[in-house]
Amino acid sequence: MAAARLTFEQECSRPELRYLSQAYIDRWDPKNDERQQSDIEPDRAAAGFSGAGELRRKLVRALRAAGARLLLGSDTPNPFVIPGVSIHDELSLLVEAGLSPYEALRAGTRDAAEFLGALDEFGTVAPGLRADLILVDENPLENVGSVGSRSGVMVRGQWFPEAELQSMLEDVATAAHDAPGDPGSVTTHSALRAP
């Protein structure tokens, strides 16, 4: 929360915010977020924030070393944790914390499906399972960040090439821009919503 309060103006310049309504973004403004209303001394908060990342990496390393099961998660709607985008950030952060790219990807696919008791539905590539796949241009086992360089995605067996995905993202950005003042809404494209 202190980090959000210290960096609100800077974070507002992120290009990914165009996919969110202004009302959604306004909830993150320290003036509008009751979690950020306490007195925070800026220098102390900045010092605490700078050490928080390393503490989190140490915790993830320790959990992994102890054999704990880790799952990929977005932590949305925390300030500037942007739906969809934040998953890519999380993958990179898990690798920075010591997981291999394979382990980080598995935390968001197979391990997530297992946690949800749905391994017989999704989470791995196997006959009879739901076909939700990302086709990437580079090997994500060498660089987990390459998950963001995609040629397209398969959602429940339907193929969406990258050009079509970009068009959908433009639709989402337009809808977010035109959205009424509903702070709880996050716009997604109808073609990608679950049935």
| Dist CA 170 CA 40 (whole Å) | 38
Which tens digits make up the pLDDT trace of 105-142?
999 999 999 999 999 999 999 999 998 999 999 999 99
pLDDT of 44-95, one tens digit each? 666 666 677 888 899 999 999 999 999 998 777 777 888 888 899 899 999 9
* Mean of per-residue pLDDT scores for the chain: 85
pLDDT of residue 45: 64
Strand, helix or coil for residue 89: helix
Higher model confidence: residue 120 or residue 27? 120
The band of 4, judged by pLDDT with boundaries at 50, 70 and 90, is low
Q: Whole-structure pTM over 0.75, yes or no?
A: yes
β-strand partners of 159 = 154
The amino acid at residue 183 is P
Query: Are residues 152 and 161 in contact, defined by beta-carbon separation less than 8 angstroms?
Result: yes
Q: Report which secondary-structure segment, H or E, holds 153.
A: strand 150-155
What percent of the chain stands above pLDDT 70? 80
Label residues 96-133 b or e (16+ Cβ within 10 Å = b): ebbbebeebbbbbbebbbeeeeebeebbeeeeeeeebe
Residue 65 is predicted with a pLDDT of 95
192 and 155 in contact (C-beta within 8 Å)? yes
* Tokens, residue 9: 């103006």
